[in-house]
Amino acid sequence: MNQIQTPDRRRVSILGATGSIGCNTLDVMTHLGGRDAFEVPAITGMGNIDLLAQQARGIGAGFAVTADPDRYQDLKSALSGSGVEAGAGPSALVEAGARDTDLLVAGIVGIAGLAPTLAAVSSGADIALANKECLVSAGELFGAAMAAGGGKLLPVDSEHNAIFQVLEQNQRHAVERIILTASGGPFRDYTLEQMAAVTPETAAAHPNWSMGLKISIDSASMFNKALEMIEARHLFDMRPEQIEVIVHPQSVIHSMVGYSDGSVLAQLGAPDMRTAIGYAISHPRRASLPVERLDLAKLARLDFIAPDETRFPALALARTAMQRGGLQGAVLNGAKEAALDAFICGRIGFLDMADIVAAAMDQLDDGRLPQAIEDVYAADRDARMVAGTLISKLAQCS
């Protein structure tokens, strides 16, 4: 049953509710009072209809949407008698984003999250952004849309959330650099020969964080860090040379900001996304969350290692994309998504992913600046086409 509206319940919609970020978000919301504290205008998912319906009933969502247009009847049946409205397909997804809300958690994976997130941005909602692809692909346009909409942009990605926490707004003139930490993933110490032979299953086994399949494999290739470098550039208005990456295997320092007096401010915590999600949902007040507290004596040491860009070329590709500007972020992301899908279904090898992205970026480096969001989608399509041709060639050879 839909709840009776009370004025002090905070309205929070969730895109990608059935994923890792979405489930963690609902867990945090449950801890912070559940239906008594939150009204949920809309939630979305894709193939997992049972979970989506269960979540919608549990939190009393107004509107539940599956991205799969063929699953409308399944969702409608699963929601029967609940009072939750059902929707399906791309336009319903955008409608879910546009429904009046105070805060939208953007937790869809990939560029598929861009259109519904932009719909929420335009409605003036605050955005708790996990979907880094929005900024990687459409950085300037997304920033302009945020400014026009008037909402706050709250980073959920743990590194960016950490920076957000320690970036002193009245000391912006003194910020020299930001230092993104990276766990190094499961192949941190692998040779290139070993990496050439890894499977999607081993690539998905992240040593510290429990996350969705795609971001876990992106962490193994360090494409996740590459995306995060570009994300940081747009979120914090940094020049490419101000963005550093350091491998920190314990994932306890979530990122740092270096200032002109030599100070480096860091945010530390257990590797649990609920801290960043809770911070974004509760901003500007810190919430009380049931996450593990750091035991520094037990931890004993924190290690730092310079990243190896020969074994992890994704980092250099991010730098190239930032230096070239224009639509290179959209191309990097589109080619990466296509290559990642091909790796997941066994068509190409792990190391092929970076070669495909590099080739697509070179081939589509025309210096064009995006004027409208359609330009971003066109660059994404072109990148997938170029990547697709390369994937077919590689798949034939194997």
**Residue numbers at the binding site for Mg ion (CB under 5 A):** 157-159
Q: How far is Cα 133 from Cα 108, in angstroms, rounded to an integer? A: 9
CB of 245 to ligand NAD, least distance (A): 16
8 A C-beta contact, residue 257 and residue 178: yes
- Kind of pairing, strands 253-259 and 175-182? antiparallel
CB of 384 to ligand NAD, least distance (A): 13
Nearer to ligand NAD (CB atom), residue 69 or residue 346 = 69
CA angle 354, 254, 25 (to 5 degrees): 90
Among 26, 112, 235, 322, binds ligand NAD (CB under 6 A): 112
DSSP-derived secondary structure for 96-126: HHHS--SEEEE---SGGGHHHHHHHHHTT-E
Residue 87 found at the interface with ligand NAD (CB under 6 A): no
CB of 135 to ligand NAD, least distance (A): 10
Among 105, 119, 130, 318, binds ligand NAD (CB under 6 A): 130
Nearer to Mg ion (CB atom), residue 160 or residue 384 = 160
Name 268's bridge partners.
Answer: 253
Nearer to ligand NAD (CB atom), residue 320 or residue 333 = 333
Residue 21 found at the interface with ligand NAD (CB under 6 A): yes
Question: Residue 55's CB: how many other CB atoms inside 10 A?
Answer: 22
Residue 19 found at the interface with ligand NAD (CB under 6 A): yes
Question: Residue 201's CB: how many other CB atoms inside 10 A?
Answer: 9
CB of 251 to Mg ion, least distance (A): 10
Residue 67 found at the interface with ligand NAD (CB under 6 A): yes
Q: How far is Cα 225 from Cα 395, in angstroms, rounded to an integer? A: 27
- In what order do the strands lie in the sheet containing 264-268? 243-247, 175-182, 253-259, 264-268
Q: 212 touches which of ligand NAD, Mg ion, none (CB within 5 to 8 A by kind)? A: ligand NAD
CB of 131 to Mg ion, least distance (A): 12
Residue 59 found at the interface with ligand NAD (CB under 6 A): no
8 A C-beta contact, residue 206 and residue 185: yes
CB of 260 to ligand NAD, least distance (A): 29
Residue 229 found at the interface with ligand NAD (CB under 6 A): no
CB of 201 to ligand NAD, least distance (A): 16
- Closest C-alpha to 204, from 188, 193, 215: 215
- Kind of pairing, strands 153-155 and 126-129? parallel
Residue 329 found at the interface with ligand NAD (CB under 6 A): no
Residue 370 found at the interface with ligand NAD (CB under 6 A): no
* Residues lying near ligand NAD in the complex (CB under 6 A): 16-22, 45-46, 67, 93, 107-109, 112, 130-133, 157, 209, 211-215, 273
